[in-house]
Chain A
Amino acid sequence: MTSTAPVASGAAPEEPLLRRLMRATEVDTRMIGMVAAITLIWVGFHVYTYLQSGEGLFLTPRNLWNLTVQTSSVAVMATGMVLVIVMRHIDLSVGAIIALVSTIVGVAQVDFLPTYLGLDNPATWIISIALALAVGCTVGALQGALVAYVGIPAFIVTLGGQLFWRGAAWWVTTGATIAPLDSRFARMGGGPPSGSIGEWGSWALALFICAGIVASLYFGRRRRARYNFPLRPMWAEITVAVIGCFVTLGATAIVNAYPLPERVAERYAEAHNIPVPPGGLDIPTGYAIPVLIALAAGLVITFVARRTRFGRYVYAIGGNPEAALLAGINVRRITVMVFALMGTLAGISACIDSARLDSATNALGTLDELYVIAAAVIGGTSLSGGVGTIYGALIGALVIQSLQSGMVLLGFDSAFQQMVVGLVLVAAVGIDTSYRRGTAKG
C-alpha cells in the first residue's frame, strides 16, 4: 500500500476492480495469498479424493471439524511464537514445555487432587488449568531471564530447555502414561459431546461475533471521522462487514452440519431424555472448545500486539533494538514478558493436547516447536524480526494441518507427510522473500 484511499475514492477508472477493492478495504496481499493457498489445498484434496474413491472426502463437515480441532494446539502457540520471532528470538522449547506441563497436571489430577478433593470434584479442572498456566509462565519467564539478563542467545537457552524440560517430564512420570484425566478437564480436548458447545451455543456465538465485527468497524470509522482522518469508502466498510459475517455464519453452519457420532448421540439422548427417532439421531456438534480457545488466543494476542504498550514495544524492539533502547524502553523486561507469554500459551496447549488424548505422557508435544515456528513463518513472520501478524500464524497453522490431514485421507505415510510439510515451509518462505524483494520493502 503506498497511499491511503481518499474520501469518496475517485480512483482512476482503468484500475482493475480487484486492486481497487483491495486498496479500499485495506486488505493486504499476503492475506489474499494465504487464503488462496488454503482454498487451493482444500479443493485440491477434495477433488483428488473424489477421483480416487468416487467421494470427495476433504470438504465435508466431519473433516473440517476435525481439521480445526487438530490445528488448535499448534495455533494457540503460534500466536505467541509470532511475538517471540518478531523480537528476533526463537523458542525451541515449547514442545518440551507441553510435556512438562501435561505430566505435572496429569499427576496432580490423578495422584494429588483426588486425595484432598475426592474424585470428580468440580474444582479439579480449575486448579489444573491454573497450575498449567503457572508452570508454563514460570518456565518461559526463566528462559526469558536467561536471554535478557545473562545474554545467552534464545536459540541456545531454548535448545537446552528442550532437552531439560522433556527430561524433567520423564522424571515426573518415570515414563508412565497418566490416565484417565478429570472429566471436566477433558472437555478442553473437544471430544464429543461435552467438548463442544452444541447447536444453539454455536449460533449464539456466531451472532455475537457478527455483532462484534460490525461494532468494531463502526467505532473505528467514528474514531477516524472525529479526527478528520481519511475514511475508507462506505461500500468498502460494508464489503468487509458482509464478508466477515458470511465467513462466521458459514463456519457455524459447517460445524453444526457435523452430527454427533451415533453412539455418542445415543448416550446423549438417553441422558437428556430425548426419544430416538426411527431414522437415527441427528444432533449437531457445534464449535469444539479447543477451537474456541485457539480463536480466543488469536483475538487476545492480536489485541495485545496492536493495542497495548507491550505489543508496540515488542514490534519496535524487533524493528530496531538500539532505537528501542534509546527511546527508553526496558528491552530486558519486555524480553522476559514475551517468553513468559510464550510459556503460558504452551501451558494452554498442553491442556488441550492432554485433554484430547485423555492422558499425559512425557512424549507429548514432540516436534511441536517446529510446527509452531513453521506456522508463524508460513503466516508471514520474518525471522529477521519486526514483521509478523497473528492472523497470519493462525492461517499458517491451518495450512500445515490441512496438508497433513489431506495426506492422511489419501493414505500417504507419515514420512512422506513430513517431506511435504518441509518442502512447503521452504517454498513459502522462498515465495515470500521474492515477493518482498519485488515490493522493495525490508
Chain B
Amino acid sequence: MDAQTKAPLIEMKDISIAFGGVKAVDRASVNLFPGEVVGLLGHNGAGKSCLIKILSGAYKRDSGQIFVNGEEAQIANPRDAKRYGIETIYQTLALADNVDAASNLYLGRELMTPWGTLDDSAMEHEARRVMGRLNPNFRRFKVPVISLSGGQRQSVAIARAIHFNARILIMDEPTAALGPAETAQVGELVKQLKADGIGIFLISHDIHDVFDLADRIAVMKNGQVVGIGPVSAMTKDEVLGMIILGKCPPGATPGPGAVTSN
C-alpha cells in the first residue's frame, strides 16, 4: 500500500496508563498515515477509549511517546492536541448539554465580533451550513442539545470535529446512536476526509463497518495490542479470533497482547 511509504502522521510508542491497579493501556504502539483509516477493535474495557484519550490530551499517559509528523509532540491537554490538528469525537460525545448546537460547535473557539463579544449570529449561520451537510433535516438550532435525539447530538459532535480542518480525526463509536441513513452518511464522510489526506482512527464495535472503511485494523485486549495488519490480509473470523482469544493471525504484526502458545 502506497500510504506506508509516506512518513507516519501519528506514531504512538509504548503508551501506558494505569488507574489504580488497572492497566488500562499497556505498552501500546500504533501509527497512522495520511489518508489512512485505522480501525481500533476490542471488547468492552479493552482500553481503546483510554488510548485515544491520551492522544487527544484528555488523559496524561504514565509512559510512552507520541510523534506527529516524525517529531515528538507535547500533548498535555486537549488544547495541545487541537494545536496539532487532532480532533476527537468522544464516545460520550462531550457536549455541554445546556447550550445550543452552535455554541457546542464552537465551544472553546468562539467566533467574536470586532468588539470582542460573542458573534452568535455568525456561529449560528456557520452551524446551519455545517449541520445542513451532515444532517439535512436538522432544524433545532435554538434549543439546548440535551433536548436533541441521540443521533442529532452525535451529528453535532461530528460537526464539531470536522469543522476545524482536522489533520487527524479520532472517532470513538461515531455511529453508535445513528440510524442507517445517517450511518451511511458518516461512511461517506470518512471516505471523503480520507481522500483529503486526513488520517482517521475509527473505533467501532461493528466489525462490518470497520472492514468497509478501514485500511488497517488494530485489535486491543486487556489494554494491550494483540496485532495490527491490513484489512486485505485478514478475514473477519481472524479478526474475531484476535478480539476474543488474542490470537494474532499471520497477516498481522503481533503486539505485546498476542498469545504465543496454543
Contacts and interface: CB of A to CB of B under 8 A. Distances in A.
Contacts of A328: 77-79, 82, 108-109
B222 interface: no
Given A320-B96, A386-B98, A442-B97, A326 B118 contact: no
Interface string B94-113: 11111100010001111010
B97 A386 contact: yes
B121 A224 contact: yes
Contacts of A386: 96-98
Nearest to B103: A312
B118 A327 contact: no
Given A307-B117, A312-B110, A323 B77 contact: no
Interface string B167-187: 000000000000000000000
A319 interface: yes
Contacts of A437: none
A309 B110 contact: yes
B146 interface: yes
Interface in A294-341: 306-309, 312, 315-320, 322-329
A229 B128 CA distance: 10
B103 A327 contact: no
Interface of B: 56, 58, 77-79, 82, 88, 90, 92-99, 103, 107-110, 112, 116-118, 121-122, 124-125, 139-144, 146-147
A3 B138 CA distance: 12
Q: Could you say which interface size class chain A belongs to? A: 20 to 34
B121 A325 contact: no
A309 B147 CA distance: 23
A324 B96 CA distance: 7
A375 interface: no
Contact of A315 (B90, B96, B110): B96
A322 B97 contact: no
A345 interface: no
B78 A315 contact: no
A227 B77 contact: no
B90 to A, nearest CB: 7
B118 A312 contact: yes
B230 to A, nearest CB: 32
A315 to B, nearest CB: 6
Interface of A: 1-4, 223-224, 226-227, 229, 306-309, 312, 315-320, 322-329, 386-387, 441-442
B143 A1 contact: yes
A165 B257 CA distance: 58
Contacts of B97: 319-320, 386, 442
Contact of A327 (B92, B94, B139): B94
User: B56, B88, B99, B112 — which one has the most chain A CB atoms within 10 A of its CB?
Assistant: B99
Nearest to A224: B121
A417 B108 CA distance: 46
Nearest to A329: B108
Contacts of A319: 96-99, 144, 146
26 contacts: A1-B143, A223-B121, A226-B121, A227-B122, A227-B124, A227-B125, A307-B118, A308-B117, A308-B118, A309-B118, A315-B98, A315-B99, A316-B103, A319-B96, A319-B98, A319-B99, A319-B146, A322-B94, A323-B94, A323-B107, A324-B107, A325-B58, A326-B78, A328-B77, A387-B98, A442-B144
A227 B121 contact: yes
Nearest to A388: B98
A316 B96 contact: yes
Contacts of A315: 96, 98-99
Given A3-B139, A326-B58, A386-B98, A441 B147 contact: yes
A1 B142 contact: yes
Contacts of A3: 139-140
Contacts of B109: 328
